[in-house]
Structure 1
Amino acid sequence: MNIPAFTGGNAPPRIASPPAIALHQVSHFFGSTPVLNHVNLTVPKGTILALLGPSGCGKSTLLKMLAGLLHPASGQISFDGEIVASGTFSLPPERRNLGMAFQDYALWPHMSVRQNVAFPLQMRGVRGALLQEKVMAALDRVGLADFASRRPSELSGGQQQRVALARAIVAEPRILLFDEPLSNLDRDLRESLCEEMATLLRQLGTTAVYVTHDRHEARALAHKIAHMDQGAIARIDLNDASVVSPFVA
């Protein structure tokens, strides 16, 4: 029996998927000093958001909240509609399905490049041929497939940061977090690696939050830029510099 296609006007409403990241009234204190002040923010899936501002404005603290390295004093943080932190609860970092890269690279010096990149997968129980396949694919993406057997001490600063990037993406996390990963590099190398990262992040299509104090870096990498000041988001700009409503990325 042929069933005609539905053409009526009472189709069920389309349910929008939750944002990749949602913060509601998130606050944090160091002692009695407020560091984050009732931050509200949503980041749609696939968006690269830069947190831009001077030292002490709260951007790294906010990133550490997303990573699970700090807990909010109040408010709520959700990933894909799942609450990962509140004033009374915090999901451990290893259960948040994140990839992270920091300015000091955080590579284990006694491990080879291959072993450093393999670590997040091993923590998830990946072994054998699949492990090696995924590690080499990640290293190939950052142009370091031929350096898999080297130690971090045998690499330049830019190469070490590429290893850190490969380690961040190898497990295909739902969110990538970057805390000023290029700040230790000289200007020319920073600019070239910034372009490479921008291309890679857009190819991956992964939601990413990128902390920086460099306006040019933010513009090269991000779809949108959240300007932070005194623990709050002052405004969010599109990458074409047109201002959109505060608190919604």
Structure 2
Amino acid sequence: MIIPAKSSGNALSRTCPAIAIHQVSHFFGSNPVLNHVNLTVPKGTILALLGPSGCGKSTLLKMLAGLLNPASGEIRFDGEIVASGSFSLPPEKRNLGMAFQDYALWPHMSVRQNVAFPLQMRGIKGQAQAEKVMAALERVGLADFVSRRPSELSGGQQQRVALARAIVAEPRILLFDEPLSNLDRDLRESLCEEMAVLLRQLGTTAVYVTHDQHEARALAHRIARMDKGAIARIDTIDPSAVSPFVA
């Protein structure tokens, strides 16, 4: 069971959106993948990028992560340009947390070491690191698994480790690339609902890529539906009216 995080009590500034994407285009060879995408994500919002394979949602997420650079247009975080046609801020300087469908855990490291890695990259060591790691693992219900290796965990437990690693450094933005797609349906539904609770408790801006509309509705405040490299429409979800995974 995921344990909700304690509120930090810090009021977020509302002077500019957490993410602003303006006229972003991209090509693979001569094939357009993103076509003048415009999108804003207010601070604290969970946005789902929803669409079929090949619609451009994962490409857009990789641009937010700094793994791809747009051919044109610009991306801003909190008003700061992080990517344009001629500039890209390195991923490690964007203050992001990321979780992927393949978990991306280091098999030779323990759960504790995997979760601690983002803190090491930021120079956080010793007792401060240990406390943050345990707090993150407690939030995802894995405090008793700190010494295990990924191979000793189930798929759901591995994804919880990946989630703990994504949140441990308290990033300004969380990015998810279909993180539940490798799980069976029952486990996917259960973990999705728990993630929704955790993300709302954290209050962190998040972008969640999925092709599953029920998963999107269970998690997100807003759903940006993508088609042929463009935003086709944006729906606002009322969490109180959502019945997760009901068609």
Say which of 161, 172, 182 aligns to 1:184. Answer: 182
TM-score by length of 1: 0.90
Computing the radius of gyration over CA atoms, which structure comes out larger, 1 or 2?
Answer: 1
Distance 1:179 1:104 in 2: 9
Q: Secondary structure at the match of 1:194?
A: helix
**Residue 109 of structure 1 aligns with which residue?**
107
Distance 1:114 1:16 in 2: 35
Correspondences of 1:62-73 after superposition (within 5 Å)? 62-73=60-71
**Residue 229 of structure 2 aligns with which residue?**
231
Number of residue pairs aligned between Structure 1 and Structure 2: 227
**8 Å CA contact 2:66, 2:88 repeated in 1:** yes
**Residue 205 of structure 2 aligns with which residue?**
207
**Residue 88 of structure 1 aligns with which residue?**
86
Which residue identity does 1:182 align to in structure 2?
L
Q: Secondary structure at the match of 2:103?
A: coil
Distance 2:151 2:96 in 1: 26
**Residue 44 of structure 2 aligns with which residue?**
46
TM-score by length of 2: 0.91
Say which of 133, 139, 142 aligns to 2:140. Answer: 142
Structure 1 position 197 matched with structure 2 position 191: no
- Structure 1 gaps of 5+ residues are 1-14, 242-249
Cα separation, partners in 2 of 1:192 and 1:16, compared to 1, 3 Å: closer
Distance 2:167 2:63 in 1: 20
Which residue identity does 2:30 align to in structure 1?
S
- Structure 2 gaps of 5+ residues are 1-12, 240-247
RMSD after superposition? 1.1
Distance 2:198 2:191 in 1: 10
Q: Runs of 4 or more off by more than 6 Å in structure 1?
A: none
Distance 2:134 2:120 in 1: 14
Which residue identity does 1:238 align to in structure 2?
T
**Residue 165 of structure 1 aligns with which residue?**
163
**8 Å CA contact 2:14, 2:43 repeated in 1:** no
